[in-house]
Amino acid sequence: MDSANIRDRRKIQKPMGVPEIVVGRLPLYLRALSHLPEEVKAITSDELGNLLGISSAQIRKDLSYFGEFGKQGSGYEIDYLRQQLQQILQVDKQWPVALVGVGDLGQAILSYGGFQERGFYIDVAFDVDPQKFGKSFNDIQILPVSQMSKFIAEHELLIAIVAIPSSVAQMVADELVQAGVRAILNYAPVTLNVPEHVRVYHIDPAIGLQNMTYYL
């Protein structure tokens, strides 16, 4: 964030008890705002709703948990709303992330260009294959998984991406949590058991497909 942004920043109150489903929509709003043409400076909740297939009433209600972001009639000032959403979601900074697993999927994640502008960077990757140790992908070093706990604890990493087979996912998750990780993006198609203070977000393409077949 540049100094202008910092100067403009008003402290966001993080209200208690915002439903998870509401928090879950904020990243969608942020992504939609980020993809608008640069010349567009303001957007109404109707327009944003049309882009996302969400009702404008829902959008206004969701945002109202966090404050007053729009002006009656003229809608939301895009730069301002983006900045506020980034603050609310705490992605107005860059989070270092550990990647576990550098197979096909892990390599795709390492090459993915979309993290940086959205608040994240892969700081380190771990694998079990000795042939990969010491190599690097896009300047990210690959370390033996045996060094994972120590590295994560020392660097105080809070976020990990797990791209490993289901059979070892729970074991690795336990180790990550033990080392201090509090947010896991899990690509293994298995439900991870973690303590209450840890969050897991599943990326599971079959779940995505099954969400749609109901309607076919």
CB of 73 vs a second copy, minimal distance in Å:
25
Q: Quote the least distance from Cβ 166 to a second copy, whole Å.
A: 8
Shortest distance, position 213 Cβ to a second copy, whole Å: 5
Nearer to a second copy among residue 72 and residue 111 (C-beta) = 111
Residue ranges that bind a second copy, judged by CB under 8 A:
21, 23-24, 26-28, 30-32, 35, 51-52, 88-91, 95, 97, 103-105, 107-109, 111-112, 114-115, 118-120, 158-159, 161, 182-183, 185, 189-191, 193, 199, 201-216
- Nearer to a second copy by Cβ, of 39 and 104: the residue is 104
The least CB distance from residue 111 to a second copy, in Å, is: 5
Q: 26 vs 100, which CB is nearer to a second copy?
A: 26
**What is the dihedral sign for C-alpha 138, 1, 74, 39?**
negative
φ, ψ for residue 45, nearest 5 deg:
-65, -30
- Which conformational region is residue 139 in: left (phi greater than 0), alpha (psi within -120 to 50 degrees), or beta? left
State which residue, 147 or 178, has the beta carbon closest to a second copy: 178
Q: Which of 43/88 has CB closer to a second copy?
A: 88
SS3 154: helix
For residue 78, the minimal CB distance to a second copy (Å) is 15
Q: How far is the CB of 90 from a second copy (least distance, A)?
A: 5
Identify the residue whose tokens are 């994240």. Answer: 120
How many helices and strands, by DSSP H and E, does the chain display? 9, 10
**HEC secondary structure over 55-89:** CHHHHHHHHHCCCCCEECCCEEEHHHHHHHHHHHC
Of the pair 63, 185, the CB lying nearest a second copy is at 185
Token digits of residue 64 = 């109202």
Closest CA to 95 of 187, 183, 201, 204: 183
